[in-house]
Structure 1
Amino acid sequence: MSGPTELPVPDTADVRSGPEVSAELLSVLPLLGEWHGEGVLSGAAAGSDQDLRFGQWIRFSHDGRGFLAYESRTWRLTDDGSIVGPDARESGFWRPRGQDDVELLVTSPEGIVEIYVGTARTTTSWELRTDVLARTPDAPDVSRAVRLYGIVDGALLYAIDRAGADEPLRPLMSARLERIR
């Protein structure tokens, strides 16, 4: 049995095509699109004494309803920029609630499901903190997290901090991504 090559309903990362953008998305609309760039994974988080480079692709898309679908893929890079192989992935949804409130639901194959709540601090920056965090028995020991996103000079910058059960928040990863679509 073969399936269709395209979905029968539109999904787009471009405000110029596809379904009309819901007015509910105004507080997260600047994120819409595809982004690509590089970042740094904290050496301490990776069990190393030095930070590690990674490449990343993120897509924020919509289907006309009041949320953005979110997908992220990363790949490990050597110091000279050569690709080592695939790394972290996550997917989820950005859900605006009211004028400035935002919810972010994120799941990853490492066995962590995070629900963040936060605010749009300006029209181009968002600060989110975990409200609920669930993990499988073999997932990394994470008890809470904070994510900061901002668009600065047309680039998407973000930082993620995480804490273990009895540990303070520490930097996990950060990146600078350029819009590619």
Structure 2
Amino acid sequence: MNEPSNGRTDPALASSGPDVVRGSGDAAVQAADERAAHTRTLNLDTIPAVPIAPDTANVRLGPEIDHACLSLLPLVGVWQGTGTFGNEPGRQEPQFGQRIIISHDGRPFLKYESVIWLLDADGGPGRPAAREVGFWRPQPDGSVELLLAHAEGRIEVFYGQARSLTSWAMSTDATWRTPTAPPVVGSTRLYGITPDGRLAYVEERAHTDIELSPHASAALERLAG
């Protein structure tokens, strides 16, 4: 029945419009299955590209990098390697794997994405861990803004500047957390390209009950760019 016990039409049903044909649950499932016939075998790597120039993580390919981003040019690339957490003093063996992709589309910012996975006792891949996405935004005065959104429920706004042609020091100006996020209230990051060409960083974090202290560090090899 399409009417509740008070005899009035349910507004939710009325708003569905005259084109909706109501029937059994089996019919709805069948209809959804038919609509998905041409998409069920497709995934991220098989869907058509968007009708604009794609991002590139290689400054030699794709759109020309914006002049404003030249100070960040060494960061552009696909990087992967291992790292350690800083809250376990004396531990040297890698505890996580990480891939960072820093790309651009020709506009005056860089896109940033990081995926981390924990390593098992033998150094093999364990389970997925932290993910973050964001943007590096160079400014006319030489400063740099870094906006990061974390899957764990936190958004950070970093400000900083280059310390040299191949290193950048960043610290948070603001941090927003959801009620379920870890109680991180601030952090710093130092990124740099090592003499052997790796992307290295050190991150410190402060919690509501813990002063700023080492959180993680890694050195990543260049895979592309």
Q: TM-score, normalised by structure 2?
A: 0.74
How far has the Cα of 1:8 moved from its partner? 1.7
Match of 2:214 among 168, 171, 176: 171
- Residue in 1 that maps onto 2:202: 159
Match of 2:66 among 16, 22, 30: 22
How far has the Cα of 1:43 moved from its partner? 4.0
Partner of 1:143, secondary structure, is: strand
Match of 1:35 among 76, 79, 85: 79
> Structure 1: which amino acid aligns with 2:165?
T
d(CA) in 2 for partners of 1:36, 1:159: 15
Give yes or no for contact 2:87–2:214 (8 Å, CA) kept in 1: no
Unaligned runs of 5+ in 1: none
Identity of aligned residues (%): 48
The answer on 1:98 being equivalent to 2:140 is: yes
Unaligned runs of 5+ in 2: 1-35
Aligned residue pairs total 178
d(CA) in 2 for partners of 1:89, 1:119: 24
Larger Rg: 2
How far has the Cα of 1:16 moved from its partner? 1.1
Give yes or no for contact 1:38–1:177 (8 Å, CA) kept in 2: yes
- Residue in 1 that maps onto 2:128: 86
d(CA) in 2 for partners of 1:7, 1:166: 45
The answer on 1:64 being equivalent to 2:106 is: yes
> Structure 2: which amino acid aligns with 1:23?
H
How far has the Cα of 1:7 moved from its partner? 2.1
> Structure 1: which amino acid aligns with 2:104?
H
> Structure 2: which amino acid aligns with 1:22?
D
Q: TM-score, normalised by structure 1?
A: 0.91
- Residue in 1 that maps onto 2:55: 11
- Structure having the higher helix fraction is 2
Shift of the 30–99 alpha-carbon distance from structure 1 to 2, 3 Å rule, reads: farther
- Structure having the higher strand fraction is 1
| Higher RCO (CA 8 Å, separation ≥ 6 residues) | 1
- Residue in 1 that maps onto 2:153: 111
> Structure 1: which amino acid aligns with 2:95?
R
d(CA) in 1 for partners of 2:162, 2:142: 5
Give yes or no for contact 1:161–1:169 (8 Å, CA) kept in 2: yes
- Residue in 1 that maps onto 2:175: 133
- Residue in 1 that maps onto 2:190: 148
The answer on 1:53 being equivalent to 2:95 is: yes
